[in-house]
Amino acid sequence: MLEKAKRKIIKAGLTNVTFTQGDATNLPYSDNTFDVVFLVAVLGEISNPFLCISEIHRVLKPYGLLSITEQPGDPDFSPMPVAKKLVKKTWIHSYRATWQGKNYTLNFIKIPNYS
């Protein structure tokens, strides 16, 4: 998957993108590092999705965007209520949801001190 993403980024001419393969529950980045984090068909692949979302919360800058997309063709599909519940526990405010059938994208903003 990383190689496919790299090819697309190179083809698009983007230069401000890096790739890291690692443990989603122990991200090798400092607090408040990223403006945007996106997950596509990822939540069901992780042994501890709550810890993953907590780590994303840690590395997102204040007012950063978390975008989660899931598609039911994936055998490890995570339903929308599951994703919303995971994110709500980390104090990221729901921003926008779109869906078509069971496909969905949820966007969240990290609001400092939101509970």
CA proximity to 44, closest of 18, 74, 67, 11: 74
* Identity of residue 32: N
Note whether residue 28 is domain-resident: no
Burial of 22-37, coded b for 16+ CB within 10 Å and e otherwise, reads eebeebeeeeeebeeb
Using a 10 angstrom Cβ sphere, with 0-12 exposed, 13-18 middle and 19 or more buried, the burial of residue 46 is middle
Note whether residue 45 is domain-resident: yes
pTM score, two decimals?
Answer: 0.84
Note whether residue 20 is domain-resident: no
For residue 90, the enclosing domain spans: 35-115
Task: Label residue 98 by pLDDT band (50, 70, 90).
Answer: confident
DSSP annotation of 74 reads S
Note whether residue 112 is domain-resident: yes
Note whether residue 8 is domain-resident: no
What does the pLDDT look like over 35-64, one tens digit per residue? 999 999 999 999 999 999 999 999 999 999
Res. 115: pLDDT tops 60: no
Number of structural domains the chain divides into: 1
Beta strand segments in the chain, E: 34-40, 60-70, 92-100, 103-110
Consecutive H or E run containing 23 = none
Note whether residue 46 is domain-resident: yes
- Per-residue confidence (pLDDT) for residue 114, from 0 to 100: 58
Note whether residue 105 is domain-resident: yes
Mean pLDDT in residue range 17-44: 91
75: domain CATH number?
Answer: 3.40.50.150
Mean pLDDT in residue range 87-106: 81
Mean pLDDT in residue range 73-86: 89
